[in-house]
Structure 1
Amino acid sequence: MPTVDSARRDVVTVGVGMVTDELELEHHSHRKAELLLGLSGVFRCEVEGGIWIVPPQSALWVPGGMVHRIAASGNIDSYAAFVQPAADANLPTTCCTIAVSPLLRELIVRSAQFPADHEVDGIESGVAALLLHEVSTAPLGNLHLPMPTDPRLRSIFQDMMTDPSDRGTLESWAKRAGLSVRSLERVIAAETGMSFGRWRQQLSIILAVQWLASGASVKQVAGDLGYENVSSFVTMFRKALGVSPARYMAERSSRH
């Protein structure tokens, strides 16, 4: 039986289902690109350049050869499609999340029913070609946190992850890092393309989606992120993602 990397097909898909508090796949890579679809549960992918969160009914694209680490939690129902590097020149060249249309979801599920070692022809090839076309034209998601390489900024990130409720001012974070406010603003903009406030808000959004998908209430998430009241958190979430937290999760649950 061939491995996903050695199989001749353009697309080899496997399904995974389990209930887990936390499943971790340590840093690894594979020759083929990976399209990870989460129907339920929540996934977090870490690469050198950032962190991506994959909520239910979304997918993560990881180019071939890219070292990455994946963590998952909740009632996991997922599919991983492994794609030949030269299968389609229009496929993404960087790690990203993509919006999953009903057609793309069904193509991924259908492709998981094909054996990895079948002859490359017939309906299997047609499904693979359409699947790759859907991936190449799918809208990109926005649940990405750019990760700085500067050790002082990495230290700030670790502190924020340790205590996400800490709503310290820009001045207080700069002091902890041994930087002036202006230097902190300059370094974070150079390494992430964001202001410090925008970068911290993006971390809050990513954590919120991860916790909500794991079953936490909106009130609990707002408190854990240090918001004085639920309405302030909901306003921030709506501005960032276009809908309220409750609507965001309801839309993903209704597609399952």
Structure 2
Amino acid sequence: MPFYHPSENEIGSPGRGTFSLEDVPRAVVAGGAAIVTKGIELAVHSHRKAQLLLTVRGIITCEADKGVWIVPPRCAVWIPGNLPHSMTAAGEVEVYWLFVEPDAASALPRQCCTLSISPLLEHLLLHVTEMPVLYDIDGADGRIATVLLDQLSRAPVDKLNFPMPADTKLRKIAAALMADPSDRATMDEWSQRTSIAPRTLARILQRETGMSFGRWRQQLHILFALRRLTQGASVQAVAVELGYEGASAFVTMFRKAMGKPPARYLAERQIDS
């Protein structure tokens, strides 16, 4: 796994102290790590530079921009500069990160999103992790960085987030669903639990997330399923954990939402060791 270890004279005058990614005077800077953990969490923080997180193995979850974002293999989460965010990971995780200067990312999304990463884009990113931190802007490495940013701006956006509403009572529903995604209570039942009229609940949810209640909960199920399937759980086990009557009902839901069944979706995102 490549790491960068810049010396003091690479990033400034001797004795200036701890290295900071914010100090690197280049359009991009990248690195990576492979860890096995029972659970790791990075508290809410932000960067001046925009950030891309690419997972090769395992799943990273990021909370940012009024939503929870999941990053399965061969996907990446794009986090614009100065956007507060937190991250969690568990299990065997291999992740690469890319920091991009704001003026070099004008064609990239201005909101947090997940991006589908092509094999070409993946190889470009991995190559950048092996380049000198202060690469030659006018040389081959500089041209690689330019191609990387061009390809990144063309990456398709995947809808792998669970919108978090601002409304207090809706956030309680979101927290309850995240704690127990198998809860199949209808919107009318949630209305009774929260003392909100069904029409009011539907209107607020649509306004704040752009989704109906059923679509909102389905999105959470997709994220939960991706996490569990990547951890090695069977389709049958995931279907039971989400409260479906059987695997076929779960697979049908997944195919309608993602355009392909879960086994195919994950197989297309597997990366050879």
- Please state which band the TM-score falls in when normalised by the shorter chain: over 0.9
In the superposition, the TM-score normalised over structure 2's length comes to 0.90
The amino acid across from 1:196 in the alignment is F
1:210 maps to which residue? Answer: 227
SS at match of 1:86: helix
The amino acid across from 2:29 in the alignment is V
Answer yes or no: is the 8 Å Cα contact 1:73–1:214 preserved in 2: no
Answer yes or no: is the 8 Å Cα contact 1:98–1:140 preserved in 2: yes
2:117 maps to which residue? Answer: 100
Which of 12, 16, 21 aligns to 2:29? It is 12
Gaps of 5+ in 2: 1-7, 12-19
2:14 maps to which residue? Answer: none
The amino acid across from 2:189 in the alignment is S
Give how far 1:119 is off. Answer: 4.2
Aligned residues: 256
- Deviations 1:57-92 (CA, angstroms, capped at 9, x unpaired): 111110010000111223211110100010132111
Give how far 1:206 is off. Answer: 0.9
Aligned partners of 2:157, 2:137: CA distance in 1, in Å? 30
Aligned partners of 2:272, 2:187: CA distance in 1, in Å? 40
Answer yes or no: is the 8 Å Cα contact 1:59–1:98 preserved in 2: yes
In the superposition, the TM-score normalised over structure 1's length comes to 0.96
2:100 maps to which residue? Answer: 83
1:30 maps to which residue? Answer: 47
- Kindly tell me: are residues 142 and 252 of structure 1, through their superposed partners in 2, closer, same or farther at Cα, counting changes over 3 Å? same
The amino acid across from 1:61 in the alignment is W
1:229 aligns with 2:246: yes
Give how far 1:114 is off. Answer: 1.4
Answer yes or no: is the 8 Å Cα contact 2:65–2:83 preserved in 1: no
2:265 maps to which residue? Answer: 248
Q: Which is worse superposed, 23-32 or 246-255?
A: 246-255
C-alpha RMSD of the superposition: 1.3
Give how far 1:52 is off. Answer: 0.9
1:123 maps to which residue? Answer: 140
Aligned partners of 2:27, 2:271: CA distance in 1, in Å? 31
Q: Map 1:32-47; keep pairs closer than 5 Å.
A: 32-47=49-64
2:86 maps to which residue? Answer: 69
Aligned partners of 2:79, 2:120: CA distance in 1, in Å? 21
Counting aligned pairs with the same residue, the percent is 47
SS at match of 2:102: coil
2:174 maps to which residue? Answer: 157
The amino acid across from 1:8 in the alignment is P
Give how far 1:16 is off. Answer: 0.9
SS at match of 2:104: coil
The amino acid across from 1:253 in the alignment is Q
Gaps of 5+ in 1: none
Q: Which has the higher contact order (CA 8 A, sep 6+)?
A: 1
SS at match of 2:103: coil
